[in-house]
Amino acid sequence: MSNAFNDNQIPLYIQLKNLITRKIKDGELLPGEKLCSERELCELYDVSRITVRQAMNDLEKEGLIFKAHGKGTFVAEPKLEQELFTITPFQNSLLMKGLKPNTKLMEYLVLPNSYEISQILDVPLVEHIFQLKLLGLNEDNPMAFYNSYFSVELGQKMLELAEAASSRHESFTTLDLYKNIPEINLRTISQTIEASIADSYIASILEVKKGSPIFIVQSVIYSDQNQPLEKKTAIYRGDKYKFSVIRKPNNNEVSP
């Protein structure tokens, strides 16, 4: 048996999983690198195929590796971490990981208003609304889908800015576009986050299988005059993103 496994109190599959995890975290195994086959791992560490399979299944569940049918098992790209107490622009989160952000202007429409949007954006129900769809990519690989609603006047301004940024091959989200509208200063963004699975439409956009995990972030963006500007739905690939937050206990609360 390999000297790597010398703790009889810990199951072998966990020791193997921990060993591969350490190699990934320490950079000995790089994203996209192909791992040894099950047979090779059995021979290398003198363990059974059941042990190897259980370790690899756990690593896949934790998002550290992925299996490509007919090709083998590979080290996964590390998930992009989005902090919840601050807003990190899409392109910055990719650049910090050495990736290459790109934004695709997918579609824009002028639509009849809905009761929900009219209430959120304070746009009369008899007026139309503007819809803008963007796709955030790492090079050509979809990472996040953005579906935004505005008043028609603001939406047309955002479209002009989005087209200009696209012509310069810049990566952007709507938050970046507001910086080019001098009369608008952002103040707050209210958000909710939920875990879900991709339906056929979202799966086709993000190039994942139907039923794949996704994060849905619903946002309403307000100006410094407390005017609602945008209703946005951002959908992130669950295999590419994770969210983090730092919370402090309320020491004034009395336990029951």
Instruction: Give residue 85's pLDDT band: very low, low, confident or very high (50, 70, 90).
Output: low
For domain 80-244, is the CATH number 3.40.50.720? no
Q: For the segment 95-117, what is each residue's pLDDT rounded down to a tens digit?
A: 777 778 999 999 999 999 999 99
The class of domain 12-75 in CATH terms is mainly alpha
Q: Is the pLDDT of residue 89 over 90?
A: no
Among 62-66, 81-85, 189-193, the least confident range = 81-85
The token pair at 243 is 């969210």
Tens digit of pLDDT for each residue in 147-191?
999 999 999 999 999 999 999 999 999 999 999 999 999 999 999
How high does pLDDT run on average in the chain? 89
SS (H, E, C) 1-57: CCCCCCCCCCCHHHHHHHHHHHHHHCCCCCCCCECCCHHHHHHHHCCCHHHHHHHHH
Would you call 172 exposed, middle or buried from its count of C-beta atoms within 10 A (0-12, 13-18, 19+)?
buried
Instruction: Using the predicted structure, report yes or no on whether residue 5 has a pLDDT greater than 90.
Output: no
Residue entry with tokens 């879900």 = 196
- How do the domains of the chain map onto residue ranges? 12-75, 80-244
Burial profile 215-252: b = 16 or more Cβ within 10 angstroms, e = fewer: bebebbbebeeeebbbbbebbbbbbbbeeeeeeeeeee
Cα separation values, 114 from 108, 124, 171, 229, 231, Å:
17, 9, 30, 16, 12
DSSP-derived 3-state class of residue 113: coil
In this predicted structure, the answer to whether residue 251 has a pLDDT above a threshold of 80 is no
CB within 8 Å of 25: residues ≥ 6 apart: none
Question: Given a cut of 50, is residue 1 above it in pLDDT?
Answer: no
**Residue 99 corresponds to which amino acid?**
L
